[in-house]
Amino acid sequence: MKCLFIYKKHLVTYLVLFTFFIIFTTFYNVFAKMEVFDSNYIFPSFENNFSILQSNLDNLYNSNEKIAFLTFDDGPTKIATTKILDTLKENDVTASFFVIGYRVKEFPNIVKRAYEEGHFIANHGYSHNNSKLYKSKDGFINEIMSTDEAISDAIGIENYHSHIFRFPNGSKSKEYASSKNMCKNYLNEVGYAYIDWNALNNDSTKKYSSYELLNNLKKSCKNKNSLVILMHDTSDVSKSYESLDASIKYLKEQGYSFKNFYDIIKN
């Protein structure tokens, strides 16, 4: 009788524990599924390993080969981007365009042309406004996602994932430095890598002539193998499109071949 009493007492304990176990596992599964659902929803097309992509990008500057990556920021704009695309076509060279989301909405056909001519369309955020970009984690991620959505609509490819982000003013500038460091982690979380540059023609600092732009570039490229060259496809400061043909010819003479970031993502 005593034995049966103890057994009954334990049975109640077991039942209570079992009920807690069922409740816990049910809730755990529901939340785990929500997490998986959310990340699949936000990043449907991401398949590559972004940490490998990030280290491949970081290692570009250490390459022994003479490769030039032409990159154009802040477009698309009507005149500059179109003229740049014409010059790239004439020289049979492809480049990478770090586009701004709201400008993609304005000139979707120019982005479509760039994409169809084999250029890489990368992400430079939606607003190019630091106070908006670094306001919150959600805000930062939303700037990237909405830029990809705008690119998707422009090029007619569903769920376009640009994979590579460039911070406005670069990842290392002092302004918003701590926010940028946080955002590097957020990029990592959402499967994006980022890249700066190691050469430039200084087209965004003041009005330079074509001759000066080319000279700036020559100085900046000196004694470097792989080049990630920063230029802008806007017309508000210096007109890089006016020095582009001579810049490409100079780089070819110096033994550089040209690639864009598709070549890195594919590997």
Residues near Zn ion (CB under 5 A) are 73-74, 168
Minimum distance, C-beta of residue 86 to Zn ion, in the bound complex (Å): 22
Closer CB to Zn ion, 140 or 256, in the complex: 140
Minimum distance, C-beta of residue 133 to Zn ion, in the bound complex (Å): 11
Closer CB to Zn ion, 91 or 171, in the complex: 171
DSSP annotation of 119 reads -
Whether residue 232 lies in the annotated active site: yes
Question: How far apart, in Å, are the Cα atoms of 202 and each of 120, 146, 207, 224?
Answer: 22, 29, 9, 17
Question: What is 196-216 written as a DSSP string?
Answer: --SEE--TTTS---HHHHHHH
Question: How far apart, in Å, are the Cα atoms of 70 and each of 18, 217, 251?
Answer: 63, 12, 11
Q: What angle do CA 168, 228, 89 make, to 5 degrees?
A: 100
Instruction: Quote the CA–CA distance of 96 and 193 in Å, as a whole number.
Output: 15
Minimum distance, C-beta of residue 20 to Zn ion, in the bound complex (Å): 54
Closer CB to Zn ion, 173 or 209, in the complex: 173
Whether residue 73 lies in the annotated active site: yes
Catalytic residue among 119, 124, 163, 232: 232
Minimum distance, C-beta of residue 98 to Zn ion, in the bound complex (Å): 7
Minimum distance, C-beta of residue 192 to Zn ion, in the bound complex (Å): 16
Closer CB to Zn ion, 125 or 256, in the complex: 125
Closer CB to Zn ion, 76 or 168, in the complex: 168
Number of neighbouring beta carbons within 10 Å of residue 16: 10
Catalytic residue among 38, 73, 148, 263: 73
Query: What's 44-100 look like in SS3?
Result: CCCCCCHHHHHHHHHHHHHCCCCEEEEEEECCCCHHHHHHHHHHHHHCCCCCEEEEC
Q: Residues for the chain: how many in total?
A: 267
Instruction: Tell me the catalytic residues.
Output: 73, 232
